[in-house]
Amino acid sequence: MSTYNIVVSTDESTVVAEYCAESNRSGAYQTEAALEKEFIRLLTTQGYEYLPISDEAALVANLRRQLERLNKFTFSDAEWTQFLDKCIAKANDGIVEKTRTIQDDHIQVLRRDDGTTKNVYLLDKRNIHENSLQVINQYGESGGAHGARYDVTILVNGLPLVHVELKRRGVAIREAFNQIKRYQRDSFWASSGLYEYV
């Protein structure tokens, strides 16, 4: 007999959910690379687009494409440089300011080449399905205090908002937290500082 969890119930309808766990759990050794590959596979089955981005130039170029797609607008090169430097990757903004931008000020104002202004959305909070979800792995940051290679990053409209540090079975989860703290201290701020959005 199946049991269902009620998600929402009204006089007119009832929404239920059922989850059947996969029972193919393996006790065998799994490398971090295999774990990473499987995690990315699971994300892509859920609609995330995988991108082979591994450096700053490709990350910034993708960010531009995603913001142009979201806003149905094409930046001129001068507009993009100005928008990136003054709205997204401000030199004096750190993690707190970038978090505030995403949470409270996700619509930035672009001064166009012709002198007019345009609102540019970093996130569409009303129509969340308009946002693009992408996943990258093994992004290399060489501009920080120490070189770093990040396991898996989830991009929302090209912005790195979620970082996942994977550890194989048997390694304490605290190691992943410590590694992310090191990245935050040593390299998230490097280059354009986009990883400070994480």
Q: Where are the domains of the chain?
A: 32-197
- Report d(CA 88, CA 119) in Å as an integer: 13
Q: Is the pLDDT of residue 144 over 50?
A: no
- Report d(CA 163, CA 141) in Å as an integer: 14
Q: Is the pLDDT of residue 145 over 50?
A: no
- Token pair in block for residue 122: 């970093």
Output 61 or 190, whichever has higher pLDDT.
Answer: 61
pLDDT value at position 147? 57
Averaged pLDDT, 130-150? 74
Question: What proportion of the chain, given as a percentage, has pLDDT over 70?
Answer: 77
Q: Is the pLDDT of residue 130 over 60?
A: yes
- Across the chain, mean pLDDT equals 82
Long-range contacts of 170-173 (CB under 8 A, 24+ apart): none
Encode pLDDT of 4-40 as tens digits: 677 777 776 677 676 565 566 656 667 888 888 998 9
What class does CATH assign to 32-197?
alpha beta
Phi and psi, residue 35, nearest 5°: -60, -45
